[in-house]
Amino acid sequence: MKIALAQLNYRIGDFEENVTAIILGIHKAKDQGADLVVFAELSVCGYPPRDFLEFDDFIEKCYQAVLRISIECIDVAAIVGSPSVNPADKGKPLYNTAYFLSDGRVQALAHKTLLPNYDVFDEYRYFEPNRLPYDVVEYKGSRIAITICEDLWNIGDDSLYVRNPMDELMKLNPDLLINIAASPFNYTQPVSRFDVLKRNALTYKIPVFYVNHVGGQTELLFDGGSMVLGSDGLLLVQLKRFSEDFRILECQITDSGYQIADVRYQISDSRYQIADSGSRISLIHDALVMGIKDYFVKMGFSKAILGLSGGIDSAVTLVLAAQALGPANVKAVLLPSKFSSDHSIKDARDLAGNLGVAYEIISIEESFRAFEHSLESQFRGLPFNLTEENIQARIRAVILMALSNKFGYILLNTSNKSEAAVGYGTLYGDMCGGLSVLGDVYKTQVYELAAYINREREIIPQNSINKPPSAELRQDQKDSDSLPQYDILDKILYQYIEQRKGPKELMEAGFEEATVRQVLKLVNTSEYKRYQTPPILRVSPKAFGMGRRMPIVGKYLS
């Protein structure tokens, strides 16, 4: 039997496009001699559909889409993911289902048992966990166990769920395991994912065929990386990351077990490739570029605009946007004030020139003086402080949004995760935007991204990298005036946000008590700001947004 893996980029709720792509994949598999082609979890409707699942019309469209796809399955079979209706009068109204299609109709269903309800996942909100007896699909002389994403993750000593679907499926003596998934990217996920698949292959001594989503779905990014592992746990084939891919493998049952061969190229060396090819920072880079591109394409946008300050955050954002959308579709705006240094303006202009991105210079000085004049009687006798700094940031946002409205640009937010964590940003000012590119990238990681971007030639001017970080909203301002150095700050933030370490644990780890209390207070009291930020492209295991749910008025310092 020849099995095709179809790694596709779906659009949530775009049934016409998703069905067309799936049918094309079926025809491609059939034309190349495949017997079975496998698509990802909830491929028919896209993932995650969220509250679309509460609309009967949406579910009906899913079902009709499955029927349209099934008609194409003549002389070739397919596995597709879709919600299905729970016929019982108890429980949630839907299952998360894998459909096995052949001979022009639905032949079998496999429902998801383990429904993740942590971090970005909220599947138990919509789906009923499978409690029906398990079965395997017999096809072309093979007994196929079909599972869905999380159903393979309850393996090891720290099991999250009471039930393990694989233990029960293995009682039915399957020859191979197929897992269709919607596994979002974070920079630790490739290693974790490979480890889970390898554990299953070794524990149950069964080949594993794994098909994942690829593409950006607003903040959630899917890296693909679909793969096949032998029953010995060795990686046989891995599909591309961050792009669509298609691969056919030939399989046969022999006296020594289930044998798999790649029909496209010799696999001797690829058996020993590690699952997460590339460095962590290169994965983050590629994920962000894909996330920007897919957000614009799927929303029907084409042009981006951003404020270019000469600092490293806006520089990295501009490069990523130019790579994702093309330099001709990105506009940079320099918005200097009397506090902007000459070298910041030069650095910004040099970067735009290096990229071939159009830019304009619009001084905010006249606008700022107008605000000072308007508020003169109210502010008389009061010192220049954060108020005047915020006014400048909001003037810049007004100008950028005006250009966005007038010319159809989408404003990209350039704030990094360190700033977002401690509230180092102005609401309705530099926190504006349609999409936050670096909101899940710590400041120290931004420097790593800059180095990665400059790995072959200088694109980002070295001065933007070397100079002390500053918002340049007052004379001689530096971020370090009010924040710990970023190498210290980011370590505390990572331990608190990603690792969920409390103040006592942080102090025991060697961080000064005063610094810990300052940072945690800033994080916790800035939650109201983060509730009002644009969607953030998620690249870490714990990003701000849908995966981190904190009370605005909560108090937690000791």
Report which of 198, 279, 286 is spatially closest to residue 238, judged by C-alpha positions: 198
Angle at 98 between CA 95 and CA 104, to 5 degrees: 120
Say if residues 331 and 305 touch (Cβ distance below 8 Å): yes
Query: What's the rounded Cα separation, in Å, for the pair 488 and 444?
Result: 10
**Residue 112 annotated to the active site:** yes
Q: How many CA atoms lie within 13 A of 36 on its CB side?
A: 25
The 10 Å Cβ neighbour count of residue 384 is: 11
Query: What's the rounded Cα separation, in Å, for the pair 273 and 162?
Result: 33
Query: What's the rounded Cα separation, in Å, for the pair 82 and 40?
Result: 9
Among residues 45, 62, 73, 149, the one annotated as catalytic is 149
Among residues 2, 30, 61, 112, the one annotated as catalytic is 112
Q: What is the Cα 179 distance to its own chain's centre?
A: 20
Angle at 180 between CA 540 and CA 39, to 5 degrees: 110
**Residue 62 annotated to the active site:** no
Give backbone dihedrals phi and psi of 423, rounded to 5 degrees, phi first.
75, 25
Among residues 41, 123, 150, 448, the one annotated as catalytic is 41
548: amino acid identity, one letter: R
Beta-carbon contacts of residue 385 (< 8 Å; ≥ 6 apart)? none
The 10 Å Cβ neighbour count of residue 437 is: 30
Give backbone dihedrals phi and psi of 239, rounded to 5 degrees, phi first.
-80, 170
Angstrom CA distances, 522 to 316, 426, 441, 543, stand at 25, 14, 18, 17
* Cα-Cα-Cα-Cα dihedral sign, residues 307, 537, 453, 469: positive
Residue with tokens 């370590």: 491
Reported as type and span, the H/E element at residue 77 is strand 77-85
Beta-carbon contacts of residue 186 (< 8 Å; ≥ 6 apart)? 538, 539, 540, 541, 543
Q: What is the DSSP letter of 425?
A: S
Angstrom CA distances, 456 to 67, 146, 205, 449, stand at 51, 45, 44, 13
Beta-carbon contacts of residue 349 (< 8 Å; ≥ 6 apart)? 334, 359
Helices (H) and strands (E) in the chain, counts: 17, 20
**Residue 366 annotated to the active site:** no
The CB-based long-range contact list for 379-386 (8 Å cut-off, 24+ gap) reads 384/474
Give DSSP secondary structure letters for 259-273: EEEESSS--TTGGG-
Active site residues: 41, 112, 149
